[in-house]
Amino acid sequence: MSQRPGFPAKLPAAGATRTTRSPVVGLAKPSLAAHGLQPARALAAPAVAATAVDSGPLRARMVSKLAAQGLQDPMVLQAMGTVERHRFVETALAVQAYEDTSLPIGLGQTISKPNVVARMIELMREGVSGKLGRILEIGTGCGYQAAVLSHVSREVYSIERLRGLHEKARENLRPFRLSNVHLLFGDGMVGYAQGAPYAAIIAAAGGDAIPQAWIDQLAVGGRLVAPTVNASGRQNLVVVDKTATGVLRSELEAVHFVPLKSGIA
């Protein structure tokens, strides 16, 4: 595989406003309306109370299980062992946070299994030794995967179409002070052209086809990983590599993600 794009990929052309960062999580502000995106109001106080979970041993055990299941990328395993997953779920579910299971996060959405998160990020990073450049995440959810991505890439743009989850992700991520994460409220199906080209794109929802906007915003040499519904009506993980002459598509194992939808709510 050819060398994947590094950092930084070129930001908006001259005359466009640069992104700004909040004190905790970078919130991209330039010309959002033109891309169907809206910045959320700033949260007044850094308030996510730590639960009583002693997660160090639990995270170590989770990572050991991931390695036993075949995950091999050291950077991905380290990131999975660093991010405290219990901080992204309701307190009542904290004791289940490090089991290999999906958990509800509200509004009919779930946080993906650790194995699925690690698998998709490892696929996205395949053939890359250091950190990836700029990444686009479709579907912020509770913010957990964005936090993991922040450890394996230079910059993360993450889009969420449900305002309630967008606000929840901001609150969850605030204490981590991840200056390389930018949260956007908007329609993920149109991507975020102002941050393109992206070294990689990862989606947490599956539709009948991969939107052309994502392909267009992927850098040459970049990789896209997303669930997609196949001809039999089942979801499978799909990997798309963009080359100078076109795209190469590979269909992998069956998965189960929430449906990909357009618009905001």
Catalytic residues, which ones?
A: 112
Going by their DSSP bridges, the two strands 246-254 and 132-138 should be labelled as unpaired
DSSP 162: -
Burial of 213 (0-12, 13-18, 19+ CB in 10 A): middle
Distances (CA, A) of 185 to 25, 58, 131, 153, 264: 14, 32, 26, 21, 8
Rounded alpha-carbon distances, angstroms, from residue 261 to 160, 186, 203, 242: 11, 11, 12, 24
Whole-angstrom Cα distance, residue 98 to residue 79?
A: 14
Q: Show Cβ contacts of residue 66 under 8 Å, excluding neighbours closer than 6 positions.
A: 77, 80, 114, 115, 118
CB atoms within 10 A of CB 103: 20
Q: How far from 104 is each of 83, 96, 181, CA to CA, in Å? A: 18, 11, 23
